[in-house]
Amino acid sequence: MTTHKTPRALPARAGRREWTALGVLLLPLLLVSMDVSVLYFAVPFISRDLEPSSTQQLWIFDIYGFVLAGLLITMGSLGDRIGRRRLLLMGAAAFSLASLGAAYSHTAGQLITARAVQGIAGATLMPSTLALIRNMFHDEKQRRTALAIWTSATMSGIALGPVLSGLLLNHFWWGSVFLINVPFMAMLLALAPALVPEFRAPKPGRFDLTGSVLSLGAVLPAIYGIKEIAASGLDYARAAWIVIGVAVGIAFVMRQARGAAPMIDLKLFRSRGFTGSVAMNLVSMFAIVGFAIFTTQYLQSVLGMRPLTAALWSLVPMTGTMAAAPATRVLVERADRAYVAAGGFLVAGAGFAGLTELHAHSPIWFLLIAATIYAGGIVAVMSVGNELIMGAVPPERAGAAAAVVETATEFGGALGMAVLGSIGAAIYRSGLAASAPARTPRPALGAARDTLGGAVTAVGRLRGHIGTELLEAARTAFTHGLNYAALGAAIAMVLAAILSAVFFRGVRVESPAAPEEPRPEAREELVAR
């Protein structure tokens, strides 16, 4: 008697509709990423019109990122329960209204409130876009391509923010940097219902309101403390904020472990692919966000470029990200992901290592080539990491998993600014103290020792050769600080490469069979019922 084994069904391949839907999902992704950096050039105009206090000016900058980071886990879990497309559309509508409110704010308080609402809406958009990719692309190769595009779009949005801001401010008032969001969000609201499939978990359980409050209480104090340390140095009060965040975070984890319907399934962290990839994303953002302030200041304050010119030059490293995404897709088909991730970290480390040789009078191409190299390496790492994360989680948990990824990237960026920023600031201050002209007036020297921008401002008030000598000393000291920060980033990349090669060896992405992964049309019918 002959028995025949039933062949395992292959996952359904995405067609034109899914790829078009991916393009639609990139709209909110780019805008949310750009809104992190779009205020860089608008601050002087906002200060002139709204006259915010120094504290209000800081909150105009920071409230968006704080609220976004604090609510990511909540919104990822909520999307799993009420429907990811529904949450995406609700967030897009709220983001549009908040953008209108920000554009037409008449006081600093109104602008801060509008930015906070933007953060709430942004927290619904980021995990929803990543989770929906998990639902639309069941074939491993296609999902790999889609996630590489998603990663590149995230990085591109952060880089495009200052450029878009500068271009708009050359022709319109400062509110235009917010108003540009509205037509793109309207396009999303019009196209997403027809192109993007709905998905929600079949048995999500009750929404954990207490867990949501705990997640917010864990993330906000920790990120606030890290950013304050990066801006003003370490002291007991700033360290206390981090301790409070960690304590609340422990309470959040304990509740998730005991809850019947947890916001985050802690069993996911038993997967090497999931846990390691979250860590990879954190380390990647630690390096690239933590070092971004150095490249921006080098272009503007060391090379003396105007803000818009510096922003346009900063787009050059995007060529590395555009090349890395397709190259990574090819490599993971031929080599173990452990070695692809390790190779990406080593490439990034090589770019940072090159910047340890940067000088105050180095040609601009030296900086741009090194930045292109490290940006390409980091995008390769994040492409592998996002693929492993989305392959490791079941579809019904993709929203919460995506929120964990985004929260880790926020922590990584804040930690990078604190650690690398502190290294650069310490070297800058000690170097300037040793090399500043002996005849420099104390007020000017005090302003110069705070920041390189302070040195440029102080030099404008000095006469004779003292100002020229002080500026040269400040630029040299800043570049030395940049060199050591680059060394710190390079060391982090090499250590991450070693850990990736060991930790990820043999990890595979499991593609569920078609019966376990119903087609998008079937999901829509189930949700409609």
Q: What is the pLDDT of residues 464-475, one digit of tens each?
A: 677 777 888 888
Contact 523, 197 (CB under 8 A): yes
Reported confidence tier of residue 519, pLDDT bands at 50, 70, 90: very low
Reported confidence tier of residue 11, pLDDT bands at 50, 70, 90: low
Compare 299 and 369 and report the one with higher pLDDT: 369
Q: What is the pLDDT of residue 521?
A: 42
Reported confidence tier of residue 157, pLDDT bands at 50, 70, 90: confident
pTM of the shown model:
0.74
Q: Compute the distance between CA of residue 409 and CA of residue 281 in angstroms, rounded to an integer.
A: 6
Q: What is the pLDDT of residue 275?
A: 79
Mean of pLDDT values over 505-524: 48
262-271, 297-306, 358-367, 504-513: least confidently modelled range: 504-513
Say whether pLDDT at 279 is over 50. yes
Q: Compute the distance between CA of residue 153 and CA of residue 481 in angstroms, rounded to an integer.
A: 30
Listing DSSP states for 352-380 in one string gives HHHHTT--TT--HHHHHHHHHHHHHHHHH
Question: 3-state secondary structure string, 15-44?
Answer: CHHHHHHHHHHHHHHHHHHHHHHCCCCCHH
> Could you tell me the two tokens for 270?
């038993």
Say whether pLDDT at 315 is over 70. yes
Mean of pLDDT values over 482-491: 92
Radius of gyration of the chain (CA): 24
Share of the chain above pLDDT 70, in %: 84
Mean of pLDDT values over 427-445: 77
Q: What is the pLDDT of residue 523?
A: 43
> Could you tell me the two tokens for 341?
């991730």
Q: What is the pLDDT of residue 464?
A: 65
Q: Compute the distance between CA of residue 423 and CA of residue 356 in angstroms, rounded to an integer.
A: 13
The CATH classification of domain 15-208+259-263, taken from the options 2.102.10.10, 1.20.1250.20, 1.10.10.10, 3.20.20.70: 1.20.1250.20
Contact 385, 58 (CB under 8 A): no
Mean of pLDDT values over 410-421: 78
Q: What is the pLDDT of residue 332?
A: 74
**Mean pLDDT over the full length of the chain:** 78
Helix, strand, coil share (%) of the chain residues, nearest 5: 80, 0, 20
Listing DSSP states for 245-313 in one string gives HHHHHHHHHHHHHH-SS-SS-GGGGG-HHHHHHHHHHHHHHHHHHHHHHHHHHIIIIIS---HHHHHHH
Contact 79, 130 (CB under 8 A): no
Reported confidence tier of residue 349, pLDDT bands at 50, 70, 90: very high
> Could you tell me the two tokens for 433?
């103290």
Reported confidence tier of residue 55, pLDDT bands at 50, 70, 90: low
Contact 374, 138 (CB under 8 A): no
Q: Compute the distance between CA of residue 512 and CA of residue 396 in angstroms, rounded to an integer.
A: 13
| Pick from 418, 452, 417: nearest CA to 432 | 452
- Convert the pLDDT of each residue in 83-92 to its tens digit: 888 888 898 8
What is residue 397's three-state secondary structure?
helix
Report the Cα 447 to chain-centroid distance in Å. Answer: 31
Q: What is the pLDDT of residue 346?
A: 94
Mean of pLDDT values over 46-67: 76
Q: Compute the distance between CA of residue 83 and CA of residue 81 in angstroms, rounded to an integer.
A: 6
Reported confidence tier of residue 518, pLDDT bands at 50, 70, 90: very low
- Convert the pLDDT of each residue in 159-194 to its tens digit: 777 777 777 777 788 888 888 888 888 888 888 888
Return the DSSP state at 508.
-
Say whether pLDDT at 395 is over 70. no
Q: What is the pLDDT of residue 506?
A: 65
- Convert the pLDDT of each residue in 198-257 to its tens digit: 777 666 667 777 877 888 888 788 877 877 776 667 778 888 988 998 898 888 888 877
Q: Tokens 């985050």 label which residue?
A: 264
Say whether pLDDT at 345 is over 80. yes
Q: Compute the distance between CA of residue 240 and CA of residue 221 in angstroms, rounded to an integer.
A: 9
Reported confidence tier of residue 527, pLDDT bands at 50, 70, 90: very low
What is residue 9's three-state secondary structure?
coil
